[in-house]
Amino acid sequence: MKTNYITIKSLILGLLMFGCLAGYGQQKDTFTLSGKITNQDYEFMYLRYNGPSGNIVLDSARIIGGTFQFKGHIAEPTVANLYGKMTSQSMDDPNFTNVFLEPALMTVSVRAGDFKNAAMKGSVSQEEQKALDKLKAPIRKEMEPVLEAYRKEKNHEKAAEIREQFEPFNARMDKIDYAFFVSHPDSYVTAYMMRFKIGGLNAVQAKIIYNSWTPRIKQSSYGKNIAKEIEKLENGSPGSIAATFTAKDINGEEIRLLDFKGKKYVMIDFWASWCVPCRKGNPHLIAVYNKYKDKGFEIIGVASDDSAVGAWKKAVEQDKIGIWKHILSGYNRNASEIEKSEFLNFRYGIHTLPTKILIDKTGVIVGRYGGGGEDDAAMDKKLAEIFGNQL
């Protein structure tokens, strides 16, 4: 009996040791990406990703005999930048691509000058992303001539006009993406891709998609980010109390949103000097302002020109919109995350320009027009209902 006890005990210890060794070989939060590259004339490969604490990790690996290897720690599947010697700072660079890392053993094969066709194995999320991209590939091919013309155009306004031609293609690809979201509620790709869609959704639409996700996707870093963006969008949507602010206007005078409470309806116009659609919409906004300014209506322009104050002031003068109030957004790219959360664009959930927020005399948002909201026709109708005759 004693011998049997020792044998069983030894067997258990052996199994435990084997489990520990197996765990040591590939812990649940570690990844290994082994790669092969051909036709390269450089010595290093680079990998950029978010570590377990959200910190940005930039790693390099020496290419030896056409092979390289990265090892690191990630808490969950995450998108990483994989690149070699780049000839530009663009994501379109032929020696740059994005891949989905997972806490697993993965392999990747790339050809210098053709990173977009990298072949990767061992990542479920990458396979899902690849399948999604394949569905959209025919549309991207149709779109390529327009995209190429956009890349070559140096004139800012002409480039903006070409960019408007993207819309039919983007609309078709959006349908494919949203169908993917519905069929993949437990995919990290869904949560990641949602970051690029939320700017065109209202709060209700965004919440419907978010609420369909599984708990693990909601608790992922991408899921938590989307939850925060939805909260900001709700804060800048009809029914919410408008975030108050105090700022120096274009003439150096202090302006407080609270000063208008009980006195006027206020339209906050989020725009920028470099935003062609914003500038094109100014004549209509001038007409709106002139019609209602004496009936208790004010506009406050919030410009995303904090790093180009001269361009901001020039645009205000050129477009003859100095007839209403103007302030800068207050954005500072070097600010902490806590400081950034106080920027007006963030507090109102602004993802695209132009976006206009209409606030009533009690301080409640009663309209959102542009990103995540209605169009200018709806804005005109709302103002007509408030002030009288249709514009």
Residues 181-193: pLDDT tens digits? Answer: 999 999 999 999 9
- Answer yes or no: is 296 within a domain: yes
Q: List, as one string, the DSSP characters of 77-104.
A: -EEEEEESS-SSSSTT-TTEEEEEE-SS
Give me the pLDDT at residue 390, please: 43
Q: Does residue 225 belong to any structural domain of this protein?
A: yes
**Rounded Cα gap, residues 233 and 352, in angstroms:** 12
- What's residue 204's pLDDT? 94
Its pTM stands at: 0.86
User: Do the domain assignments include residue 350?
Assistant: yes
The number of helices, as runs of H, and strands, as runs of E, in the chain is 14, 15
For residue 170, being part of any structural domain is answered with yes
Q: What is the CATH number of the domain that holds 99?
A: 2.60.40.1120
- Based on the fold, state whether residues 171 and 263 are members of the same structural domain: no
- CA–CA distance, 106 with 243 (Å, rounded to integer): 47
Q: Which of 24-38, 138-152, 329-343 has the highest mean pLDDT?
A: 138-152
Q: Is residue 362 part of a domain?
A: yes
Tokens representing residue 135 in the block:
């569905």
Q: Which domain holds residue 226?
A: 126-235
Whether residue 179 sits in one domain with residue 71: no
Q: Which of 121, 155, 171 is the last residue of a domain?
A: 121
| Shared-domain flag, residues 96 and 138 | no
CB within 8 A of 202, min separation 6: which ones? 233, 237, 368, 372, 373
Q: Considering the domain boundaries, does residue 90 fall inside one?
A: yes
Claim to verify: residue 93 and residue 219 sit in the same structural domain? no
pLDDT of residue 339: 73
Q: Which residue has the tokens 């950034």?
A: 340
Rounded Cα distance, 266 and 260, in Å: 7
pLDDT at 11 over 50: no
Instruction: Quote the pLDDT of residue 389.
Output: 55
358 and 255 in one domain?
yes
Identity of the residue numbered 174: D
Number of structural domains, the chain?
3
Give, for 38, the enclosing helix (H) or strand (E).
Answer: strand 30-38
Q: Which two tokens stand for residue 110?
A: 């790339």
Averaged pLDDT score across all residues of the chain = 91
Verify that 343 and 313 share a domain, yes or no. yes
CA angle 289, 290, 291 (to 5 degrees): 90
Q: Out of 71-75, 255-259, 329-333, which region has the weakest mean confidence (pLDDT)?
A: 329-333
